[in-house]
Amino acid sequence: MPSTPRPLRKLGFLTIGMFDAADPGRGHEATLEIIELGERLGFDSAWVRHRHLQYGISSPVAVLAAASQRTRRIELGTAVTPLGWENPLRLAEDLATVDVLSGGRLNPGVSVGPPAHYEQVKGALYPDTADAEDFGHERVRRLLDLVRGKPATDFGGAEGFAAGRQPHVEYTSDVVQPHSPGLGRRLWYGGGSLGSARWAGEHGMNFLTSSVVKAEGAGETGGPWDFAGIQLSHIREFRAHHPDGEAARVSQGLVVIPTDSASPEQRARYAEYAAGRLPRTASPQGPARLLFAPDLVGTSAELAERLHAHAAFREVDEVAFALPFTFGHEDYVQILTDMATRLGPALGWRPGA
């Protein structure tokens, strides 16, 4: 472990983009306004989460396309897009299009595994191929190859045919169009296990960590579970297998809530929210044995002290702090403002121009 934490180089935030089913337009507009605020405050990145058949953003690519036209500097990411819902070829086209529209600011994060509640949705999602679909790493590899310019077909060139009295020629490409050369270096893998960290490193991706890890390694011998220690082992496993080694990009996504400018009512509500979620952090949850990190709530000085003591945070220089899902717009404005003006500088970060 480094003797001192790395100075924070990139400060980002993650939002789920919740909305009211009776007025979804207002919720989507609020998400775009939050991203615009993030740019004004100097944040380096804004990330949105994928939520299918829920009252949250179901199409981050479309939302980020809109955000790309209302911002100029801030990077835009997905954290994460579950590839079980996607066709890699079509997704590669959409991602490249938004990257071109944004001027090269897109950071797509993806994950693997079958879609949530697959037995209930497979008839609508894959009516003819549900039992043949591969939801493993091969799906990510296909996306990587297509985004990075590997041919999608063995045909490419000119094709002519008659169109009325005039001959017509169409030109086709054997690779995904538009092709955005830098996008292949900005693909992220969202993982919470040693295996996923290793795979992401071996395939030259960036690595997204969050407030959830698979309970493995530290704690298996009967001692207390150490979330930070487990996450640290994932970061080191990733970099040990990445061509860039210690320079390989890792972003941490804990739930962090500064209270510096919060009202007494907000502070009480934030504390109650974190307390209600604390029991799940004591031991692994569910068949997948997922271990959750405690939400961090307090003044920026208090939060900086706790983060500097966090073993995994000490080895990253990028973060995308997650905004709580159920808070109001005015809460997000307060939290982001405190992050950018107080917490970020306390962590060694400087806002973008």
**Cα distance between the two ends of the chain:** 32
Q: 2: pLDDT confidence band, cut at 50, 70 and 90?
A: very low
Residue 29 belongs to some domain of the structure: yes
Nearest Cα to 250, choosing from 208, 294, 298, 310? Answer: 208
Both structure tokens of 2: 């480094």
Q: What confidence score (pLDDT) does residue 162 get?
A: 56
Question: CATH code at 98?
Answer: 3.20.20.30
What is the C-alpha to C-alpha distance for residues 32 and 60, in angstroms, rounded to an integer? 11
Both structure tokens of 88: 């890699």
Residue 206 belongs to some domain of the structure: yes
Q: What confidence score (pLDDT) does residue 4 get?
A: 59
Q: What is the 3-state secondary structure (H, E, C) of 118-168?
A: HHHHHHHHCCCCCCCCCCCHHHHHHHHHHHCCCCCCCCCEEEEEEECCEEE
What is the C-alpha to C-alpha distance for residues 350 and 335, in angstroms, rounded to an integer? 17
Nearest Cα to 75, choosing from 18, 10, 15, 31? Answer: 10
Residue 164 belongs to some domain of the structure: no
Number of domains in the chain: 1
| Per-residue pLDDT tens digits for 31-74 | 999 999 999 999 999 999 999 999 999 999 999 999 999 999 99
Residue 284 belongs to some domain of the structure: yes
Position 6 pLDDT exceeds 80: no
| Per-residue pLDDT tens digits for 143-187 | 999 999 999 998 877 776 655 566 777 778 999 999 999 999 999
Q: Which domain holds residue 19?
A: 10-150+174-346
Q: What confidence score (pLDDT) does residue 163 get?
A: 54
Residue 157 belongs to some domain of the structure: no
What is the C-alpha to C-alpha distance for residues 193 and 197, in angstroms, rounded to an integer? 6
Residue 169 belongs to some domain of the structure: no
Q: What confidence score (pLDDT) does residue 171 get?
A: 77
Percentage of the residues of the chain whose pLDDT score is greater than 70: 93
Residues written for the chain: 353
What is the C-alpha to C-alpha distance for residues 138 and 164, in angstroms, rounded to an integer? 45
Residue 159 belongs to some domain of the structure: no
Position 108 pLDDT exceeds 60: yes
Position 266 pLDDT exceeds 60: yes
Q: What confidence score (pLDDT) does residue 73 get?
A: 98
Q: What confidence score (pLDDT) does residue 19 get?
A: 96
| Per-residue pLDDT tens digits for 241-256 | 999 999 999 999 999 9
| Per-residue pLDDT tens digits for 77-93 | 999 999 999 999 999 99
Entry pTM: 0.94
Position 218 pLDDT exceeds 70: no
Q: What confidence score (pLDDT) does residue 3 get?
A: 46
Q: What confidence score (pLDDT) does residue 161 get?
A: 62
